[in-house]
Amino acid sequence: MPKESNGRTRIHDVARAAGVAIKTVSRALNNEPNVRQDTRERILETVKRLNYHPSLSARGLAGRRSYLIGLIYENPSANYLVDVQHGAMARCREGRFQLLMHQVSGRGEELERDVIGLIDQTGVDGLIVTAPLCQSNELIRTLDRREIPFVRMAPNKMRHRTPYADMDDEGAAYEMTAYLIGLGHRRIGFISGHPEHFASGQRLNGYRKALKAHRIAYRASYVRQGFFIFESGLDAARQLLAMPEPPTAIFASNDDMAAGVLMAAHEMGIAVPDQLSVAGFDDTYIARTVWPRLTTVHQPSYDLAYTAADLLLRVLSSQPAPKPVRLPYRLVCRASTGLTDDSDSHS
C-alpha cells in the first residue's frame, strides 16, 4: 500500500494506474523486448499522465550504475563550451542520464587525481573527454587502468580502442585558406591555436597545404602563435599588421582570436574587409556579434558533443563497439572577407 507522503509518483503508482506489475512498467520504460505493443502504449501514456520520472538513485542502485556521465573540460571559450554542454545534455536526457560538467585545471598528476576524484565520488558510468585533455597519454592510461568507459571529443592523434567524434580540421583549414586565395589574397597571415591542442597543428597543416597547392610560398613570419583566446589574437594581429609587408588576409584558428584581429584592425584604422580580410574558425556566437560579421568555418560543436554522448551511451549499453564518427564542417562566408586589390602580389 503506497503512501503518498511525498507527493512523488513512483513506479508502483504507474503500475497500479495501468493495471500491470511494476516489472512491466520497468520493461516498457527501458525499451526492453517482450512487452505487447498495446500494453507498452498504455503504460507510456500513464507515465506521461502521472508525470512519472524514475528515480536515478533507485535505478542506479538496482542496476549497478549511476546514470551519471561526466564531461571534463579545461578552459574553452564560453560560447564553445555552452554548445558542447547542450549537445551532450540533449543526448543524456534522451537516455535518461544526467550530465555532470567538470572543469579541470591541473596538469599531469594533479589532473589525474582530479578526474579520479570525480569518478570515485560520483560513480559516473562514463566520461566524455574533450580536447586537449583527451591527448594526455597519462590521463588515458589512468582511465584505462580504472576501466572506466570514455569517449573522446575533438581530434586526437592517439590510436586507442575508445571511440571519438571529430571533424576534419585540416580539410576545413585548407578550404578556408583556398577560399582566401580565391579572393585574390597572396599574403595570408595565420594565427595558430594553443599548441597543446592537436587541432591546432591540423589547422596549420591545412593552411600550409593550401598555400602549397596554390604555389604560394610559405612565410614563417606570417604565422604567429596564438592560444585560442581573444588577447592572443589581438597581440598576434598587431604584430602581423605592423610588418613592413603586412598580410592582406588573416586566418585565425578560432573565432575568439579572429575577433582579436578585428579589434587590432579597428585600432589601427585598417578597414575590414577592404584593406584586410579576416577569417575565423568554429562559428561560435561571437562570429555573429562582431563587426563585420566573421567569415568562419562552422564546427558542429553541438552535434559533436551530442554524438560523443551517443557513442558513450552505446558503449555503456554494451552494444557492439561503435566506430569513431567524423562530422562535416561548413564554410560560412560573412562580411569579414572580401576581394583584395593588392597589386603587389606576384607569382
Residues near DNA (CB under 7 A): 3, 6, 8, 10-12, 19-27, 29-30, 33-36, 39-40, 52, 54-55, 57-59, 61-65
Cα distance between residue 258 and residue 53, in whole Å:
45
Q: Are 78 and 133 in contact (CB under 8 A)?
A: no
162 backbone dihedrals φ, ψ, rounded to 5°: -75, 145
DSSP string, 188-200: EEEEE--TT-HHH
Rule CB under 8 A: is residue 317 a binding residue for a second copy?
Answer: no
Task: Name the minimum Å distance from CB 124 to a second copy.
Answer: 10
- Closest CB to a second copy among 148 and 333? 148
Task: Name the minimum Å distance from CB 11 to a second copy.
Answer: 11
Give residues 49-68 in contact with a second copy (rule: CB under 8 A).
51-61, 64, 66, 68
Which position has the grid cell 589574437? 233
Rule CB under 8 A: is residue 100 a binding residue for a second copy?
Answer: yes
Rule CB under 8 A: is residue 230 a binding residue for a second copy?
Answer: yes
- Closest CB to a second copy among 222 and 230? 230
CA torsion sign, 318 to 143 to 62 to 97? negative
Task: Name the minimum Å distance from CB 18 to DNA.
Answer: 8
- Closest CB to DNA among 24 and 142? 24
342 backbone dihedrals φ, ψ, rounded to 5°: -60, 125
Closest C-alpha among 265, 228, 229 to residue 250: 265
Rule CB under 8 A: is residue 286 a binding residue for a second copy?
Answer: yes
Rule CB under 8 A: is residue 31 a binding residue for a second copy?
Answer: no
Region binding a second copy by CB under 8 A among candidate stretches 93-101, 245-253, 298-306, 311-319:
93-101
- Closest CB to DNA among 318 and 347? 318
113 interface partner picked from DNA, a second copy, none, CB below 5 to 8 A per type: a second copy
Measured in residues, the chain has a length of 347
CA torsion sign, 213 to 216 to 219 to 223? negative
Rule CB under 8 A: is residue 218 a binding residue for a second copy?
Answer: no
Closest C-alpha among 162, 166, 168 to residue 322: 162
Closest C-alpha among 297, 230, 288, 294 to residue 264: 230
Q: Are 47 and 14 in contact (CB under 8 A)?
A: yes
Q: Are 81 and 154 in contact (CB under 8 A)?
A: no
**Interface residue list for a second copy (CB under 8 A):** 6-9, 51-61, 64, 66, 68, 78-79, 81-83, 85-86, 89, 96, 98-101, 103, 113, 116-117, 120-123, 145-146, 230, 256, 259-260, 262-263, 266-267, 285-286, 288-292
